[in-house]
Chains A and B, each alone.
Chain A
Amino acid sequence: EAGVAQSPRYKIIEKRQSVAFWCNPISGHATLYWYQQILGQGPKLLIQFQNNGVVDDSQLPKDRFSAERLKGVDSTLKIQPAKLEDSAVYLCASSPLNRASSYEQYFGPGTRLTVT
């Protein structure tokens, strides 16, 4: 079974520029998550989708971050404009729905963003 795919793997931008990340979850997984992991910390949930609807975006900085999952499959996360403190690894994860294993989240390899 193919895992969660993310691109790009690395990105370096200057502050105030824009950046977008892409995620393709495991086939058939209804729930998709975007996390931000700052160095030395655990992942922090930014937004959770179930199919193409938002379940939780309480920790998404909506003045600069946006995310969409228009067809309920792949998703994009955008930052506009970027700040130095956005330097982090952005992890995408997915999980199935209504199964005993639904609590396990499968993570992609992440996108490492450096803002200079």
Chain B
Amino acid sequence: RKEVEQDPGPFNVPEGATVAFNCTYSNSASQSFFWYRQDCRKEPKLLMSVYSSGNEDGRFTAQLNRASQYISLLIRDSKLSDSATYLCVVNRGATNKLIFGTGTLLAVQP
């Protein structure tokens, strides 16, 4: 079993739609959590950190459930420019080691 699991998609949604991505992690000692965005043939970039209290950044909302070891990302009012792969990332501990999921591909259609 992979340490971080995501649905690979692709998710094909129309502009303006709301889309949600889910992710589970297996190591209960994981300390911090992130969503990274990776455009086609580009490097990953930090989208947002994920906190137990939930956090929002414009159209993006991230949620963490430590008891269920579950992370989510909600994108409202999807834009064409949101088309990318979204990587669920877990920081295992003091050495800042990041464990990446396989990524979920989002394609927003006009």
Write the residues of chain A forming the contact surface with B, with a CB cutoff of 8 angstroms: 31, 40-45, 48, 55-56, 91, 95, 102-105, 107-110
Contacts and interface: CB of A to CB of B under 8 A. Distances in A.
Describe A's contact surface by its main secondary structure: loop
Contacts of B46: 104-105
Nearest to B4: A42
A112 to B, nearest CB: 8
Describe B's contact surface by its main secondary structure: strand
Interface residues of B, number: 22
Contacts of B66: none
A42 B97 contact: no
Given A43-B44, A44-B100, 13 more contacts: A41-B103, A42-B101, A43-B87, A45-B98, A45-B99, A48-B95, A48-B96, A56-B95, A103-B34, A105-B46, A107-B43, A108-B43, A109-B43
A105 B98 contact: yes
The 4 closest A-B pairs by CB, nearest first: A42-B100, A107-B43, A43-B100, A42-B102
A45 to B, nearest CB: 6
